[in-house]
Structure 1
Amino acid sequence: MFALKLILAAVLVAASARHVPQDHLAYEQVHLLGFDEDERPVFEHEDLLPELEESCQPQHLTRARRQAQGSVTLNSDGGMGLGAKIPLAHNDRNVLSAIGSVDLNNNMHPTSKGFGLALDNVNGHGLTVMKESVPGFGDRLSGAGKLNVFHNDNHNVAVTGSLTRNMPSIPNVPNFNTIGGGVDYMYKNKVGASLGMASTPFLDRKDYSAMGNLNLFRSPTTSVDFSGGFKKFESPFMSSGWKPNFGLTFGRSF
């Protein structure tokens, strides 16, 4: 089943790559260089635009993407995650986007679905707000932020934080909060690691994660990333111990 999902995801990404309008990509590349549509210069070699764009972009900055993005993540438990981000408005430094996600279990049944807004900054900072629906549980309203605290040509360090309001539809169970935080590190946008922790006081539960990240392939419009590591949770009644966890993510910009 996992192999079938892997092949399906790869086919979807490859198919989308063949149907991206090249005129649209060329416009986005020129627009990112700072030209308006009416001021678009004529290049003798249009195929050099991606390399020219990268050379003009300071390496210690993370470009705030103004293109629609989609992703497919295959998880070690046999489930799958689908994500989408569609830009709504932008200026020279920030992009406001609509976001959506659907998580599926190993039987392809939805385990959650959500929608919200994301604000991305050219320096790598970000904010998201999302409303999720979880079948058999209820709803979740979450806000998350990322602060890029250090970056240069090789290294990037960011701290993250989140607050989730859990709103169960289960009788006699009140709403409760989950608070989380973490640290992310990336070397040359290729190899990275992250540490995270979340606390749910109502359940007296703590979740921990230690993950590594590796970019397997990257082009101006496509990326393939692998993440692997360990996760665990602890409560007064149960402890899962460290369990392996991994995922393979196919991303595409349009």
Structure 2
Amino acid sequence: MFALKLVLAAVLVVASARHLPQDHSTYEQVQLLGFDEDGRPVFEHEDLLPELEESYQPEHLARTRRQAQGSVTLNSDGGMGLGAKIPLAHNDKNVVSAIGSMDFNNKLQPASKGFGLALDNVNGHGLTVMKESIPGFGDRLSGAGKLNVFHNDNHNVAVTGSLARNMPSIPNVPNFNTYGGGVDYMYKNKVGASLGMASTPFLDRKDYSAMGNLNLFRSPTTTVDFSGGFKKFETPFMSSGWKPNFSFNLGRSF
């Protein structure tokens, strides 16, 4: 089943790549005409240059995205996730978007669905608030934030934090919280790593993750990423031990 999902994702990648805008044609429209009195280059169709600069500069310097985005994630346990982000309002530094998600288990049965709002900043900071419904469990209200603490042309470091309020529909089970945090690192928007930890005091449970990230394909409208590493959880009664975990993600802007 996972192999079939992987093949379907590959088909989506190929289809997306075939419909990508041809950037070479845009470059051909921008030609060097000469130099002005101060020695600065003068180009034909200079109004196209900001678009080119935005498309090809490092991600942390690019403007915040103002396009609708969709994603498909295939997980090593056979599950699959769908995500969407639709911009609602923006200025030169921030974009507020509506977000939605739907996860499926390895039998393609709904595992959760959610909706919320996201705030993305031009410097790589971000906030999200989401309400999720989980069949057989109840609801979850969560908030997450990302702070970009360092970036240059090669390196990007961000810290993350999250807090979730779990609201079970199970009789005699009270609401309880889960909170967590992590560190993300990325080199040239190509290779990276992340460390994360989450704690649920009510269950006396802690979750840990150590993951590596690799961008397999990137264009102005499409990305394909691989994430792989290890995860585990611990309670006073048992420990799962470090288990391998990986996923493929296809993202597309429209």
**TM-score normalized with structure 1 length:** 0.86
In structure 1, what residue type is equivalent to 2:141? L
Q: What's the offset of the Cα at 1:51? A: 4.2
Structure 1 position 8, deviation (Å): 1.5
SS in structure 2 opposite 1:85?
Answer: strand
Q: For 1:222 and 1:211, how far apart are their aligned partners in 2?
A: 22
What is the aligned residue count?
235
Contact (CA 8 Å) 1:124, 1:147: kept in 2 or not? Answer: yes
Change (3 A) 1:85 1:7: same
User: What secondary structure is seen at the aligned counterpart in 2 of 1:153?
Assistant: coil
Match of 2:208 in 1: 208
Match of 1:102 in 2: 102
Q: What one-letter code is carried by the residue in structure 1 that aligns with 2:78?
A: G
Residue 10 (structure 1) shift: 2.6
Structure possessing the higher radius of gyration over alpha carbons = 2
Letter in 1 for 2:233: F
* Aligned-partner residue type, residue 149 of structure 1: V
Partner of 1:67: 67
Which residue of structure 2 lines up, in the alignment, with residue 53 of structure 1?
54
| 1:146 and 2:158 aligned | no
- Structure 1 residue matching 2:61: 3-state secondary structure: coil
Letter of the 1:253 counterpart: S
Q: Is the 8 A contact 2:148 2:159 kept in 1?
A: yes
Query: Aligned partners of 1:229 and 1:170: how far apart in 2?
Result: 33
Contact 2:54 2:63 in 1 (8 A): no
Letter paired with 2:129: V
- 1:213, 1:143 → 2: CA distance? 23
Q: How does 1:166-177 map to 2 (within 5 A)?
A: 166-177=166-177
- Match of residue 84 from structure 1: 84
Secondary structure in 2 matching 1:78 = coil
- SS of 1:8's partner is helix
Deviation for aligned residue 1:136 = 0.2
Q: TM-score normalized by structure 2?
A: 0.86
SS of 2:85's equivalent?
strand
Q: What are the within-5 Å matches in structure 2 for residues 1-254 of structure 1?
A: 1-15=1-15, 43=45, 51-54=52-55, 57=57, 60-254=60-254
Provide the C-alpha distance between the structure 2 equivalents of 1:218 and 1:20, rounded to a whole number of angstroms. Answer: 11
Conserved 8 A contact 1:61-1:151? no
Displacement of 1:44? 9.1
Given that 1:65 and 1:95 are in contact with CA atoms closer than 8 Å, whether structure 2 keeps it comes out as yes
Counterpart residue type for residue 183 of structure 2: V
The alpha-carbon deviation at position 16 of structure 1 amounts to 5.0
Equivalent-residue separation in structure 2 for 1:4 and 1:177 (angstroms): 37
Given residue 54 of structure 2, which amino acid in structure 1 is its aligned partner? Answer: E
When residues 62 and 239 of structure 1 are mapped into structure 2, their CA distance, relative to the original with a 3 A threshold, is: farther
Is the CA contact 1:59–1:153 (under 8 Å) kept in the aligned structure 2? no
Distance in structure 2 (CA, Å) of the matches to 1:211 and 1:100: 24
* Cα deviation digits, residues 52-88 of structure 1 (max 9, x gap): 4345x46652531111100101100011011110100
Q: d(CA) in 1 for partners of 2:209 and 2:132?
A: 22
The answer to whether the 8 A contact 2:16-2:222 is kept is: no
Q: Distance in 1 between matches of 2:59 and 2:253?
A: 20
* Offset, 1:14: 4.0
**CA deviation digits over 1:110-157, x for unaligned, max 9?**
111100000000000000000000000000000000000001111000
Render the CA deviation track for 1:160-208: whole Å, top value 9, x for unaligned: 0000000000000000000100000000000000000000000000000
